[in-house]
Structure 1
């Protein structure tokens, strides 16, 4: 298998969110893919198998588990496909994920790639009652006093459901302080929590153990954009620039738009390919 190390949602080399992309003739055993994700220790690792010229099956792993969808791996994989398989400067790639198909339009720009992912429509799944907010805020080292007035907690998904936590203050103090947060989130249909300052449009998220902070979360960006449009923070004609990664030392920016025709959420960012190599274990 050939592999690439890429940076996604970056402004220059070795910024943004790191990613490993593997290209295989067939998917290895699931245990092997999980072991490789742990070996490379990026927030996510994506494996690709080509089905036709611009259609690829894809599987995404964190160091702990397989995910049905994630944003920055799909964007980074599109840049790798553009580099490896396309002759033209731009093109559209279709990725068959475990539970959905995602298209990415990618354009080569010198030594980087501009990639735009169509995440489809946002699904507003559940809004907890304010009386139970503390159950989800206390594990994040937050209180109801940190919540932005007029902005409810809400579970929103474009493929991966996030509990969105809109803040007026406290972004710098937020972190996961309990061991059972994943089970609490599961009770309301969420996989992860994403906290964000509604005024600065800056967000943070972590693995549910609170051990690793994500640098730039494309799968959360679509839900955050849909949420901000719904609650009139931005007009539907405005682009939203979501900042993330400052607290992890890798400041990143994610561009979010809502397609005027379809209503689908479009998430864009710059990708740079840093390293290419071959996995030599006979797979």
Structure 2
């Protein structure tokens, strides 16, 4: 048995930039263990496996990173929706329901001059508490407490994955890193991951919790940042702002974020980006 996949780059209109992704348009019959092994073999940051349904506008999906299945992720959904749009050969905008293990989301895709663009509605954000231990957080990222903004809170925000948003002073982002695994530290604060935010530059950085791999463009984290910025008066509802990521690992990416609601009651966060097609492949042997 063989299986086909499509290689796309998300959050960039240019191939070989943005966040790479393997999309398996028809992964029926694969087990979770096989999906994980395939993701590890291909070495993209994440891979997404699709299961077609009777409704062409709905698709079941499973997303894996190099370690485990994820209940939600941003750039895999945008990339997968662009692949389905391209394979449908439709020229008009398309709306799809994407069913994940944790939630169902809606995404709109449209053709562009250079590829495709997807806008993912991540739904209503959750604000899960602030963190007061600034010294421990600074140390976890190889920074000093003075590198953290003291006028903005450290806060756990989720649109599907629980991110600790860490606002930094200008210049601190480039000095940041993770010298040792932060999973246990984050778990104590009710977070799964962390994202560092330079509000002045509208730029973020995010790593796997062991600090070995830095992500290029993190759609789920961008959703949390968008909700955070709306709540704290840094963004206006209904307006789109551009978030930058990937500069430090040579794959600059741009994520477009739009929030709805108000500071007291954010209603939804939408994250959008371009998708560039790189190629196709076939796995002739399955694990």
- Relative to structure 1, is the Cα distance of residues 282 and 157 closer, same or farther in structure 2, using a 3 angstrom cutoff? closer
- Relative to structure 1, is the Cα distance of residues 236 and 87 closer, same or farther in structure 2, using a 3 angstrom cutoff? closer
Match of 1:207 in 2: 208
CA–CA separation in structure 1 for the residues paired with 2:283 and 2:142:
42
Match of 1:182 in 2: 183
1:183-217 deviation line (CA, Å, top 9, x unaligned): 11111111111001011010000011100100000
CA–CA separation in structure 2 for the residues paired with 1:56 and 1:166:
36
Matched, 1:76 2:79: yes
Give 3-state SS (helix, strand or coil) of 2:255's partner: strand
Moved over 6 A (4+): none
- Relative to structure 1, is the Cα distance of residues 213 and 25 closer, same or farther in structure 2, using a 3 angstrom cutoff? closer
Residues 161 and 192 of structure 2 are in contact (CA less than 8 Å); yes or no, is this contact kept in structure 1?
Answer: yes
CA–CA separation in structure 1 for the residues paired with 2:16 and 2:136:
37
Q: CA RMSD in A?
A: 1.6
Match of 1:272 in 2: 276
1:258, distance to aligned residue in structure 2 (A): 1.1
Residues 13 and 276 of structure 2 are in contact (CA less than 8 Å); yes or no, is this contact kept in structure 1?
Answer: no
Match of 1:8 in 2: 10
- Relative to structure 1, is the Cα distance of residues 12 and 282 closer, same or farther in structure 2, using a 3 angstrom cutoff? closer
Matched, 1:124 2:127: yes
Match of 1:105 in 2: 108
Match of 1:216 in 2: 217
Give 3-state SS (helix, strand or coil) of 2:25's partner: strand
Residues 161 and 192 of structure 1 are in contact (CA less than 8 Å); yes or no, is this contact kept in structure 2?
Answer: yes
Match of 2:228 in 1: 227
Matched, 1:94 2:86: no
CA–CA separation in structure 2 for the residues paired with 1:258 and 1:111:
26
CA–CA separation in structure 2 for the residues paired with 1:25 and 1:40:
15
Residues 11 and 252 of structure 1 are in contact (CA less than 8 Å); yes or no, is this contact kept in structure 2?
Answer: no
Structure 2 unmatched runs, 5+: none
Give 3-state SS (helix, strand or coil) of 1:220's partner: helix
Match of 2:46 in 1: 44
Residues 238 and 260 of structure 2 are in contact (CA less than 8 Å); yes or no, is this contact kept in structure 1?
Answer: no
Match of 2:241 in 1: 240
